[in-house]
Amino acid sequence: MDIAEKPTAPGGNEIDRPVPSAPSNRVWGSDAIAAMLRELDIPYVALNPGASYRGIHDSLVNYLGNTRPRMLLCLHEESAVALAHGYAKVTGRPMAAFVHSNVGLMHGTMAIFNAWCDRAPVLVLGATGPMDSTRRRPWIEWIHTARDQGALIRNFTKWDDQPASVTSAQESILRAWLIANTAPKGPVYVNFDLALQEDEITELPPAPTVARFAPPEPPQPPMLILQQTAELLVGAKRPLILAGRGSRNPEDWKRRVALAESNGARVMTDRKSGATFPTDHPLHGGGADLIVNSDVILSLDWVDLAGTLKSAYGGKPVTAKIVQVSADQYVHNGWSMDYQGLPPADVYLLAEPDAAVPPLLAAVKALRPNTRPLPAPGPRSGPPPLAALEEASIIQVPQIATALHEVLGNAPTTMIRLPLSWADGLWEFRHPLDYLGTDGGGGIGSGPGVSVGAALALRDSGSERLPVAVLGDGDFLMGVTALWTAVRNSVPLLVIVANNRSFFNDELHQERVALQRGRPPENRWIGQAIRDPDIDLAMMARGQGCTGIGPVDEPRKLVPAMREAVAAVRAGKVCVVDVRVAPGYSTGATAAIMQHKAD
């Protein structure tokens, strides 16, 4: 198919339209590289520019006409990669992030690490000064050429390459895309030599037929092991499912629910992963007691199964039979320990949970055709009452949930991100897109970028969902300029900053150390508090074209502020509400920091 006939991006607004190039038969290496991105139907390239890829930049604009993929200019490479990460969280598919030779990649590294730990597919593209030293411009192209640039990120990407010809560049992009899309998914990196991009070629090499290189179907677990697992579950008195990483597909969600119901298994979820099970289902629960009292535990790719068991059992031997369903082992390497402790697995299904659940469900139903009766629903904590906002003198984080409930009711909402100070139970998740999980790698500063990418994907899907991100002020401030890209590209998004004017998490750590050492804990704020001067977060938002509301520091003003904000987002705006909250974490999160012994 001719390049001009390929479809254009859905939902994209009509900005950044290039004037058409005069018809010409002349083509360059970078045209072939850009054409390959079109073949793969990559919708967007989030980028920060750089001369190392000026050839491809030109091809994207003047050869492809800046459509499919369309450029999303970002003000920092960390935002560019985070945007692609957020997009993958919603769609399960990679978009591209282009970063300038070595320095741009260095800026993007933390975001790549976050995507790696979150098993999110991202196609990271980069460039290098010419490897042929006789072609390097003095100084700049020498400092921006590294012998092995991929080494910077090789330890936390699934694959990287530096192709040496145009045809191999096309194959390289195709292979990168295939690997990124194969579970366990993750970021990949392709680095294009400047000379390769800028050399004129006689004609465009034929692009590979993409359909012949489709990602493989997820492998099915062996029947024998499925049968064994089904028998264990059906024979269990108190089965427990730990619903960890899973897809955003509602059908997968329904099958998970059916599996739990068919067997009367209790289910735990984890905010590190996106929503995988309805939190208000009678079988949903949590806590160490639930784990210790279970006799069979089915882990559906639970993040840190070993650590969860260790905490629940207090280090004592694990008595429950453990069934592990995970393909994660395929990406464990010797550098990053994001694979966590080694959990016991009496039965190990080396498969993706969403591929294993359907046959497992069938096997369980064959053994137990009638589902067990559901228990009575347990009490729901929910957010604090609305009336408390009238009486209180300072806003507590849970009251953000109160105000949002008041304004949104049951309107479909995607909680893109929630801060550590947000306790479980404040907001129910009833759909896989109700909550998207955390950053993966614990890299603060990803919140704004991931939120913009997720909101972009929601917008393009035509979803009615309101995209909401509740971010800590530290997280917001580190990545705040990602919001400009949302404004520029008309991506509606509500960002609520739970602004405790501190990197508060670390205040708790300083308090703990001081207490251990018999030193004054009241000094915990020094080197942590973001005050004097207080930062005007709403103004930072307005400075980039967002609607900025706040600081909201009076509890009774919270609901009106949320009402105004939600109306702005429904009208297509990016809106930031700076909510001044009392410092403090949920009891569980505080205990995790204060009580953990480094044993």
Ligand X SMILES: Cc1ncc(C[n+]2csc(CCOP(=O)(O)OP(=O)(O)O)c2C)c(N)n1
* Comparison of 71 and 493: residue with beta carbon closer to ligand X: 493
Per partner kind, with CB cut-offs from 5 to 8 A, the member of Mg ion, ligand X, none near residue 485 is none
Per partner kind, with CB cut-offs from 5 to 8 A, the member of ligand X, Mg ion, none near residue 506 is ligand X
Give me the least distance between CB of 128 and ligand X, in Å please. Answer: 26
Number of residues interacting with ligand X: please give it, by CB under 6 A: 18
Q: Report d(CA 563, CA 559) in Å as an integer.
A: 6
Distance of CA 179 to the CA centre of its chain: 18
Check: CB of residue 371 under 8 Å from CB of residue 347.
Answer: no
* Comparison of 9 and 592: residue with beta carbon closer to ligand X: 592
* Comparison of 69 and 472: residue with beta carbon closer to ligand X: 472
DSSP codes of every residue in 117-143 = HTT--EEEEEEES-SSGGGPPTTHHHH
* Comparison of 168 and 590: residue with beta carbon closer to ligand X: 590
Give me the least distance between CB of 495 and Mg ion, in Å please. Answer: 14
Number of residues interacting with Mg ion: please give it, by CB under 5 A: 6
Per partner kind, with CB cut-offs from 5 to 8 A, the member of ligand X, Mg ion, none near residue 466 is none
Spatial CA neighbour of 122 closest among 74, 71, 188: 188
**Residue bearing tokens 């404040």:** 426
Residue nearest to ligand X (CB): 472
* Comparison of 28 and 503: residue with beta carbon closer to Mg ion: 503
- Residue 474 interacts with ligand X (CB under 6 A): yes or no: yes
CB under 8 Å to 84, separation ≥6 — which residues? 44, 46, 94, 95, 96, 97, 115, 122, 123, 124, 453
- Identified binder of ligand X from the candidate list 231, 304, 506, 553, rule CB under 6 A: 506
Region near ligand X per CB under 6 A, out of 194-202, 367-375, 471-479, 534-542: 471-479
- The interface with ligand X within residues 110-139 (CB under 6 A) comprises 110
* Comparison of 385 and 442: residue with beta carbon closer to ligand X: 442
Per partner kind, with CB cut-offs from 5 to 8 A, the member of Mg ion, ligand X, none near residue 434 is none
- The interface with Mg ion within residues 468-497 (CB under 5 A) comprises 472-474
In a 10 Å sphere around its CB, with 0-12 CB exposed, 13-18 middle and 19+ buried, how is residue 462 labelled?
exposed
Residue type for position 109: T
* Comparison of 53 and 504: residue with beta carbon closer to Mg ion: 504
CA distances from 139 to 5, 119, 136 (A): 42, 38, 8
- Identified binder of ligand X from the candidate list 445, 453, 548, 551, rule CB under 6 A: 445
- Identified binder of ligand X from the candidate list 59, 91, 162, 505, rule CB under 6 A: 505
- Structure tokens belonging to residue 295: 């006799």
- The interface with ligand X within residues 394-433 (CB under 6 A) comprises 419-421
- Residue 502 interacts with ligand X (CB under 6 A): yes or no: yes
- Structure tokens belonging to residue 261: 């119901």
* Comparison of 253 and 422: residue with beta carbon closer to ligand X: 422
Spatial CA neighbour of 415 closest among 306, 498, 311, 293: 498
In DSSP terms, which residues pair with 323 in a beta bridge?
298, 347
* Comparison of 91 and 500: residue with beta carbon closer to Mg ion: 500
- Residue 503 interacts with ligand X (CB under 6 A): yes or no: yes
Q: Within a 13 Å sphere around the CA of 294, how many CA atoms are in the beta-carbon half?
A: 30
Give me the least distance between CB of 506 and Mg ion, in Å please. Answer: 9
- Residue 442 interacts with ligand X (CB under 6 A): yes or no: yes
DSSP 8-state symbol, 370: S
Spatial CA neighbour of 452 closest among 486, 477, 424: 486
Q: Report d(CA 113, CA 108) in Å as an integer.
A: 9
- Identified binder of ligand X from the candidate list 87, 348, 504, 525, rule CB under 6 A: 504
Angle, alpha carbons 288-294-297 (nearest 5°): 95
- Residue 472 interacts with ligand X (CB under 6 A): yes or no: yes
- Identified binder of Mg ion from the candidate list 128, 170, 500, 528, rule CB under 5 A: 500
Cis peptide before 533 (omega within 30 of 0): yes
Residue type for position 320: A
Region near Mg ion per CB under 5 A, out of 401-409, 464-472, 546-554, 562-570: 464-472
Q: What is the chain's percent helix, strand, coil content, to nearest 5?
A: 40, 15, 45
314: left (phi over 0), alpha (psi -120 to 50) or beta: left
Strand ranges across the sheet with 159-161 = 70-73, 44-47, 96-98, 122-128, 187-193, 159-161
* Comparison of 96 and 105: residue with beta carbon closer to ligand X: 105
Give me the least distance between CB of 479 and ligand X, in Å please. Answer: 10
Region near ligand X per CB under 6 A, out of 154-162, 247-255, 467-475, 587-595: 467-475
Per partner kind, with CB cut-offs from 5 to 8 A, the member of ligand X, Mg ion, none near residue 443 is ligand X
* Comparison of 328 and 473: residue with beta carbon closer to Mg ion: 473
Give me the least distance between CB of 34 and ligand X, in Å please. Answer: 33
> Interface residues with Mg ion (CB under 5 A)?
472-474, 500, 502, 504
Chain contacts with ligand X (rule: CB under 6 A): 110, 419-421, 442-445, 472-475, 500, 502-506
